[in-house]
Amino acid sequence: MTDSIIVQKFGGTSVGSIDRIRAVAEQVIKTKEHGHSVVVVVSAMSGETNRLQVLANQVDTLPSSRELDVLLSAGEQVSMSLLAMTLQKLGHDAVSLTGWQAGIQTDEKHAQARIIGINTDAINQQLQLGKIVIVAGFQGITEQGNISTLGRGGSDTTAVTLAGYLGAKECQIYTDVDGVYSCDPRVVTAARKLDTIGFQDMIDMAKYGAKVLHLPCVEFAEQHNLPIRVLSSFSPLQGTLVKAQESSGGVVGVALRRNLMQITSNNETIDKLVAQCNEQELEVFRVLSKDQSGVVVSQVDLAKLMQVIHEEAVHIDDVCSVSLIGRSNLSSIQALEALLAEDDIEIVSHSLCERHTMMLLAPEYLDKAANIIHDVYVDQNELLSVSKRRVS
């Protein structure tokens, strides 16, 4: 029975209305009728998490993280119960389980919790009864018995981790796009869908801004060699298979991030901020600028740091990032600076490593820069010289 389990995850757009929930139910039934045991993980209906967050912020701009998790977890519970009702209406036995009912155990870090284990007894018991099991994504329970959430995109992590613990044949992530693209196709119309991508390249794409898959879910999949198939809820195409494979070399894709804040100051202050971010487990990138040391954090995390830096001599700017993902030449930043300068776009600061080149720009230049960089670098075996830029 274990070999026949398929875990399917459906995102918020896929369950955004009763009609779409019925379409999801029909897709799940097809999988069931092909002889598989099916476990479905659902996100909240599109827009619901934002609605709940707004309500919380009307009460308090910095609400209790515990109570916020209790509130936000309700969105997925609405989706799971509606899907179970729909499946039952269509003649199939189904049962919905919250994160804690499904045995999903997390650490104590609210809003960004990590799954530390899953007791699959309840799920396996329902599967043995022939039921389709629907699990609320994005949530679990701490050792202290508190509801926790996994952060935006956490339903992906729920699905992949469940697939690993259940020994599933495959984890299928259904979303509103038909696979992983070389860049966000809403920004770069020339972006191409990747038939396959290696775990490490996908981890880097997710880390630096691609929103198709939640970073922890890809990390778990790599550790357990569990293939992930990214599919569209609205298209019959085969999507993208994320699996163990060697990087082909060169640039695999271009990842974009908005709503970032760059903090620049002296080395001593920046060291303090990095230490504070590490202590609070906040995401932080150290960057190189022309005159000063700097770090980049999200706008959300900046609010958490303000209590530490309000008396420091710092400069804070709105920025966005464009990152080339794949093995690259560490001297490539000069070529990128020259390339973007042709369109009067300045690189504010940058970060380089073997597998990525991240550039920070003023937000108004992000889309234009993404198209220029994708034009020149994607699908090349090495960084090209500026002279090879496509004639527009």
Q: What is the pLDDT of residue 233?
A: 84
User: What are the tokens at 363?
Assistant: 């937000």
pTM above 0.85, yes or no: no
Neighbours of 233 (CB within 10 A): 20
Residue 69 to residue 86: CA distance in whole angstroms = 27
Shortest CA distance to 350 belongs to which of 328, 377, 368? 328
Distance of alpha carbon 9 from alpha carbon 43, whole angstroms: 8
Q: Is residue 161 within 8 Å of 168, Cβ to Cβ?
A: no
Residue ranges covered by each domain of the chain: 2-243, 251-388
pLDDT per residue, tens digit, the chain (392 aa), is 445 899 999 999 999 999 999 999 999 999 999 999 999 999 999 999 999 999 999 999 889 999 999 999 999 999 999 999 999 999 999 999 999 999 999 999 999 899 999 999 999 999 999 999 999 999 999 999 999 999 888 999 999 999 999 999 889 999 888 899 999 999 999 999 999 999 999 999 999 999 888 888 999 999 999 999 999 888 777 899 999 987 766 788 999 999 999 988 888 888 888 888 888 778 888 887 766 778 899 988 887 787 666 666 678 899 999 999 986 544 468 888 999 999 999 999 888 887 888 999 999 999 999 999 999 988 554 334 333 443 33
| CATH topology for the 2-243 domain | Carbamate kinase (3.40.1160)
Which of 3.30.2130.10, 3.40.50.300, 1.10.3720.10, 3.10.20.30 is the CATH number of 251-388? 3.30.2130.10
What is the model's pLDDT at position 26? Answer: 96
Query: What is the pLDDT at residue 321?
Result: 95
Q: What is the pLDDT of residue 291?
A: 65
* Positive or negative: CA dihedral 259, 47, 205, 370: negative
Q: What is the pLDDT of residue 351?
A: 85
Identical fold at 2-243 and 251-388? no
